Amino acid sequence: MLETWLTRTLGITVPLLGAPMGGRAGGRLAGEVTRAGGLGLIGAARYNTSEWLAAESAVARELGGGPLGFGLMTWSLADDDSLLDAVLAERPRVVSLSFGDPAPYVPRVRAAGAVVISQINTIDDLRVVEAAGVDAVVAQGHEAGGHTGHIGTLPLLQEVLESTSLPVLAAGGIASGRGLAAVLAAGAEGALVGTALLASPETVGPEYARDLLVAARSSDTVYTDVFDRARHQPWPARWGGRALANDYTAEWHARGADEETLAAAYDAADPRRGVVYAGEAAGLVREQRPAGEIVRDIADRAEELLRRSW
């Protein structure tokens, strides 16, 4: 069994968290990750309602029968933190407060009995979340799908591990047992996995997203802000999003168009013009598979590799 700070603290058997992917990670995905021995996080996006969160939490608990987690975009809480109240009402075991300073919210989360983690993209981010009092950090590399920073996973992970006494997890490009084994061997306490699960039938979102991901190679992604601007999502400029390249990005990425023009050209229902956030591990996703099966395979292979190496 792969025992780390993460498994001991959360009472799980696999040192793996399902990434809280906004618009993709709902209760079914989170529940299946938890049932397989990890811990699934529901993506609490700024447009979600408390009713939606309650319904998805119920699904996750019915499937997983274990702890539950949520991920929030910290920058969006500054204007309205009611979504955090809705999350805490569900009695989560883990809350991820990422993309911004979590200091105003950490005391409330810890008072609710949850473990607080933050995804970070630089050493400066590390210092901010350390000062805020989080329990652990996730070194999220540029390879990651969705919103992320500009430093690769391996350089960032090494730097973070040597710069903090907090438990460190890794995210970005981890989609197999080899990836999990690599970051555990480096000193991480576990991994946050997203892209590997995106072709699973338990994900929320259009069917075409799963098909496109299975067909994609690892070179078929682009780091861009055009999808945020087209959908009027006010993400801070420092975080772009990694998505599968398509006709829309070929036409509009780095073109400098205004938001209204981008919005008029965007079509969420069209696989050639809608967004599918995914990381550079896309080439490792070769078929649609149940999330629980993926988690178990990652864990078994990582344990086998580490046992052989050690």
DSSP state of 225: S
Of 42-51, 122-131, 140-149, minimum mean pLDDT range: 42-51
pLDDT at 310 over 80: no
**What is the number of residues in the chain?**
310
Please answer whether residues 294 and 200 qualify as being in contact, where contact means their C-beta atoms are separated by less than 8 angstroms: yes
Q: Which pair of tokens denotes residue 88?
A: 């805490």
Q: Which residues of 129-138 are buried (b: 16+ CB within 10 A; e: fewer)?
A: bbebebbbbb
Q: pLDDT digits over 243-283, tens only? A: 999 999 999 998 989 999 999 999 999 999 999 999 999 99
In the sheet where 221-224 sits, what is the strand order?
146-148, 240-244, 221-224
What gap in Å lies between CA 298 and CA 292, rounded to an integer? 10
On the question of pLDDT at 173 being above 70, the answer is yes
Question: What integer best gives the mean pLDDT of the chain?
Answer: 96
Can you tell me whether residue 242 is helix, strand or coil?
strand
Domain range annotation of the chain: 5-203+288-309, 207-280
Please report, as a single letter, which amino acid is at residue 258.
D
Distance CA 194, CA 279 (A): 8
223-232 pLDDT, tens digit each: 999 999 999 9
CA dihedral 69→70→75→81, nearest 10 degrees, is -110
Q: At what angle do helices 123-132 and 153-161 cross, to 10 degrees?
A: 50
Region 35-48: mean pLDDT is 93
| Mutual angle of helices 27-35 and 50-64, in 10-degree steps | 30
Strand extents, DSSP E, 37-183: 39-44, 69-73, 94-98, 115-120, 136-140, 146-148, 168-171
5-203+288-309 topology per CATH: TIM Barrel (3.20.20)
Distance CA(30)–CA(33), nearest Å, equals 5
Torsion 113-292-26-118 (CA) sign: positive
Between CA 287 and CA 78 the distance in angstroms is: 40
Structure tokens that stand for 232 in this block: 């009027």
